[in-house]
Amino acid sequence: MMPMTQACAVEPPAAVAAPHGPTRFVLGVWVQPIGSMDAWKARGINTLVEVPQGHDPVAWAQAAGGKGLYQIRRPAGDLAGDLKDDHLLAWATDDEPSNTKVGRVDYGSVAQEPADLAKQAAPWRAAAKAAGRFVPIWTNHVGPHIYPDWARNSALMQDYMRGPASDWLASDSYPIEDRKPLLMLSNDGYASSVQGVALDRQRAWSGGKPVMSFIGTSPFADGSGVPTVGEFNAMAWSSVIHGAAGIIYFPVRFSPAWSFDATPPELVDAITRFDRQIAAMNEVLMDSGSGGRRPFKLFRSAGAGARPAPDQLPYPFEAAEIATGQGPYRIVLNLTPQDQVLDKPEWGLKQAAFPPYGVRTGLGAATPPAPTGDGAEGCK
Q: Tell me, what's the pLDDT at 149?
A: 86
Would you give the distance in Å from CA 4 to the centre of its chain?
A: 21
Q: Tell me, what's the pLDDT at 194?
A: 97
| Pairing outcome for strands 168-172 and 70-73 | unpaired
Q: What is the 3-state secondary structure (H, E, C) of 126-160?
A: HHHHHCCCCCCEEEEEEHHHCCCHHHHHCHHHHHH
Contact 195, 215 (CB under 8 A): yes
Q: Tell me, what's the pLDDT at 293?
A: 97
Give the pTM: 0.92
Q: Tell me, what's the pLDDT at 139?
A: 98
| Pairing outcome for strands 246-250 and 26-30 | parallel
pLDDT along the chain (380 residues), means of 10: 40 44 97 98 98 96 98 94 96 98 94 98 96 95 94 96 96 98 88 97 96 98 97 98 98 97 98 98 95 97 95 98 96 98 95 97 72 44
Which residues touch 310 (CB under 8 Å, ≥6 apart)? none
Q: Tell me, what's the pLDDT at 188?
A: 73
Closest CA relative to residue 156, chosen from 100, 195, 239, 207: 100
Q: Tell me, what's the pLDDT at 20?
A: 80
Q: Tell me, what's the pLDDT at 186?
A: 83
Closest CA relative to residue 20, chosen from 243, 278, 289, 279: 289
